[in-house]
Amino acid sequence: MKDVVRTEAAPAPFQGAPYSQAIKANGFVFVAGQVALKPGGHEITGETIQEQTEQALANLGAILEAAGSGFDRLVKTTVFLQRLDDFQGMNEVYATKVGDQPPARSTFEVAKLPSGALVEIEAIALI
């Protein structure tokens, strides 16, 4: 059994694309990749990796909260960077959100992200 998570406190799927912000199943929440869009917005917010990471994590946090979870319950994240050279800047902001027991994480450089974003973050957390 799975339940769709939907909150107005985070951006809706791009242009009606067929995916959910998150899915709850078997005690976990699986959050779709989040970029630096403000809720209701269509343009990437922030020019620096730090600004974009902050907004992507704000979106992730809102979805986790709507699912009955939070940053302290993260078990796995995946971070996609347009440039791996931005790793340090992303990591500085990321570290402020994940606490002293951070989740497992993978980080990849990718050729392109939606809307020209510098970073996208997806997550799995306990409910």
CATH (domain of 76)? 3.30.1330.40
Specify burial of residue 19 (Cβ count, 10 A radius: 0-12, 13-18, 19+). Answer: exposed
Is residue 121 a contact partner of residue 63, using CB atoms and an 8 Å limit?
no
Number of domains in the chain: 1
| Cα pseudo-dihedral 30, 15, 37, 110, rounded to 10 | 70
Nearest Cα neighbor of 38 from 124, 115, 127 is: 115
The model's pTM: 0.95
pLDDT per residue, tens digit, the chain (127 aa), is 899 999 999 998 877 789 999 999 999 999 999 999 999 888 999 999 999 999 999 999 999 999 999 999 999 999 999 999 999 999 999 999 998 999 999 999 999 998 899 999 999 999 9
Question: Could you list the residue range(s) of the whole structural domain that residue 28 is in?
Answer: 2-126
pLDDT of residue 30: 98
Is residue 45 a contact partner of residue 38, using CB atoms and an 8 Å limit?
yes
